[in-house]
Structure 1
Amino acid sequence: MALPSPEKPADLLLNESDSSVSPVDAQNGPGHSEQPLLPWDRFSCWLHCVCVVGFDLELGQAVEVIYPHSSKLSDKEKISICYLSFPDSNSGCLGDTQFCFRFRQAAGKKIPICYALDHLERDAPIFLKSDPGHFYGYVYFRQVRDKTLKRGYFQKSLVMISRLPYVNFFHSLLKLIAPEYFEKSEPCLEAACNDIDRWPAPFPGKTLSLPIMGVVMKVRIPSCYDKPGTIQIAQSCQQDDAQVSVVLPTVHEVDLFRCFCPVFFHIQMLWELVLLGEPLVVMAPSPSESSETVLGLVSCISPLKYSSDFRPYFTIHDSEFKEYTTRTQAPPSVILGVTNPFFAKTLQHWPHIIRIGDMKQAGDIPKQVKVKKLKNLKTLDSKPGVYSAYKPFLNKDEEIIKQLQKGLQQKRPSAAQNAILRRYFLELTQSFIIPLERYVASLMPLQKSISPWKNPPQLKPFSQEEFMKTLEKTGPQLTSRLKGDWIGLYRHFLKSPNFDGWFRRRRKEMTQKLEALHLEALCDEDLQLRIQNHTEVETVDLVLKLKDKLMQAERERLPVKADTLSRLRTHIETVIGTLPEDLQGILLKPGSPQEATS
Structure 2
Amino acid sequence: MGPSGLSPDALEYLQILRRMCNFGENKALSLVYPHDFRLTEKEKTSICYLSFPDSYSGGLGDTQFSFRLRQSGGQRTSHYEDGGEYNREAPLTLQREAAHFFGYVYFRQVKDSSMKRGYFQKSLVLVSRLPYVNLFQSLLQLIAPEYFDKLEPCLEAVCNEIDQWPPPAPGQTLNLPVMGVVIQVRIPSRVDKPGSSPVKQFNQENLLPAPMVLPSIHELDLFRCFQPVLIHVQMLWELMLLGEPMVVMAPSPTVSSEMVLALTSCLAPLRYCCDYRPYFTIHDSEFKEYTTRTQAPPNIVVGVTNPFFIKTLQHWPHILRVGELRMSGDLPKQVKVKKLAKLRTLDTKPGIYTSYKTFLHKDKTLIKRLLKGIQRKRPSEVQSALLRRHLLELTQSFIIPLEHYIASLMPLQRAITPWKNPPQIRPFRQEDFMKTLEHAGPQLTCVLKGDWLGLYRRFFKSPNFDGWYRQRHKEMTQKLEALHLEAICEANIVAWMKDKSEVEIVDLVLKLREKLVRARCQHLPVKEETLQRVGLYIETIIGSLPEDLQAVLHHH
Paired with 1:360 and 1:99, the residues of 2 have a C-alpha distance of 21
Give matches, 1:187-266, under 5 Å. 187-236=153-202, 238-239=204-205, 241-266=207-232
- Counterpart in 1 of 2:10? 43
Root mean square deviation of aligned Cα: 1.8
- Give CA-to-partner distance per residue, 1:180-217, whole Å, 9 cap, x none: 11111111111111211211110000111111122211
- Counterpart in 2 of 1:569? 535
Paired with 2:103 and 2:14, the residues of 1 have a C-alpha distance of 10
Secondary structure, counterpart of 2:509 in structure 1 = helix
In the TM superposition, residue 350 of structure 1 has moved relative to its aligned partner by 0.8
Paired with 1:409 and 1:438, the residues of 2 have a C-alpha distance of 41
Paired with 2:175 and 2:329, the residues of 1 have a C-alpha distance of 34
Query: Unpaired segments of 5 or more residues in structure 2?
Result: none
What is the identity, as a one-letter code, of the residue corresponding to 2:176? L
In the TM superposition, residue 380 of structure 1 has moved relative to its aligned partner by 4.8
Paired with 2:379 and 2:282, the residues of 1 have a C-alpha distance of 38
What is the identity, as a one-letter code, of the residue corresponding to 2:18? C
1:180 correspondence with 2:146 = yes
1:316 correspondence with 2:271 = no
Residues 307 and 497 in structure 1, CA contact (< 8 A), matched pair in contact too? yes
Paired with 2:52 and 2:83, the residues of 1 have a C-alpha distance of 30
What is the identity, as a one-letter code, of the residue corresponding to 1:54? C
In the TM superposition, residue 230 of structure 1 has moved relative to its aligned partner by 1.2
- Give the TM-score, by structure 2 length: 0.96
1:410–1:548 Cα change, 3 Å: same
In the TM superposition, residue 167 of structure 1 has moved relative to its aligned partner by 0.7
Paired with 1:117 and 1:209, the residues of 2 have a C-alpha distance of 24
- Give the TM-score, by structure 1 length: 0.89
1:219–1:425 Cα change, 3 Å: same
What is the identity, as a one-letter code, of the residue corresponding to 1:156? K
In the TM superposition, residue 364 of structure 1 has moved relative to its aligned partner by 4.8
1:305 correspondence with 2:292 = no
1:408–1:73 Cα change, 3 Å: same
- Counterpart in 2 of 1:52? 19
1:341 correspondence with 2:307 = yes
Give matches, 1:65-104, under 5 Å. 65-104=31-70
In the TM superposition, residue 113 of structure 1 has moved relative to its aligned partner by 5.8
1:367 correspondence with 2:308 = no
If asked which structure has higher relative contact order (CA below 8 Å, sep 6+), I would say 1
Give matches, 1:68-467, under 5 Å. 68-112=34-78, 114-116=80-82, 118-236=84-202, 238-239=204-205, 241-359=207-325, 364-467=330-433
Paired with 1:308 and 1:120, the residues of 2 have a C-alpha distance of 22
Query: Unpaired segments of 5 or more residues in structure 1?
Result: 1-37, 593-598
In the TM superposition, residue 423 of structure 1 has moved relative to its aligned partner by 0.5
Secondary structure, counterpart of 1:91 in structure 2 = coil
Greater mean deviation of Cα atoms: 235-244 or 372-381: 235-244
Paired with 2:345 and 2:189, the residues of 1 have a C-alpha distance of 44
In the TM superposition, residue 242 of structure 1 has moved relative to its aligned partner by 2.2
Paired with 2:279 and 2:378, the residues of 1 have a C-alpha distance of 31
1:212–1:116 Cα change, 3 Å: farther
- Counterpart in 1 of 2:475? 509
In the TM superposition, residue 79 of structure 1 has moved relative to its aligned partner by 0.7
Greater mean deviation of Cα atoms: 295-304 or 244-253: 244-253
Residues 523 and 567 in structure 1, CA contact (< 8 A), matched pair in contact too? yes
What is the identity, as a one-letter code, of the residue corresponding to 2:87? E
1:277–1:574 Cα change, 3 Å: same
- Counterpart in 2 of 1:15? none
Paired with 2:210 and 2:145, the residues of 1 have a C-alpha distance of 19
What is the identity, as a one-letter code, of the residue corresponding to 2:81? Y
Residues 55 and 305 in structure 2, CA contact (< 8 A), matched pair in contact too? no
1:537 correspondence with 2:516 = no
In the TM superposition, residue 239 of structure 1 has moved relative to its aligned partner by 4.3
What is the identity, as a one-letter code, of the residue corresponding to 2:225? C
Residues 363 and 409 in structure 1, CA contact (< 8 A), matched pair in contact too? no
1:137–1:379 Cα change, 3 Å: farther
- Counterpart in 2 of 1:12? none
Paired with 2:328 and 2:512, the residues of 1 have a C-alpha distance of 62
| Percentage of identical aligned residues | 62
Residues 108 and 120 in structure 2, CA contact (< 8 A), matched pair in contact too? yes
What is the identity, as a one-letter code, of the residue corresponding to 1:335? V
Greater mean deviation of Cα atoms: 78-87 or 573-582: 573-582
Which of 60, 63, 84 in structure 1 is aligned with 2:29? 63
Paired with 2:112 and 2:405, the residues of 1 have a C-alpha distance of 64
Which of 426, 438, 456 in structure 2 is aligned with 1:490? 456
Greater mean deviation of Cα atoms: 180-189 or 220-229: 180-189
Greater mean deviation of Cα atoms: 566-575 or 482-491: 566-575
Residues 138 and 170 in structure 1, CA contact (< 8 A), matched pair in contact too? yes
Paired with 1:243 and 1:433, the residues of 2 have a C-alpha distance of 44
What is the identity, as a one-letter code, of the residue corresponding to 1:51? R
What is the identity, as a one-letter code, of the residue corresponding to 1:323? E
Residues 8 and 79 in structure 2, CA contact (< 8 A), matched pair in contact too? no
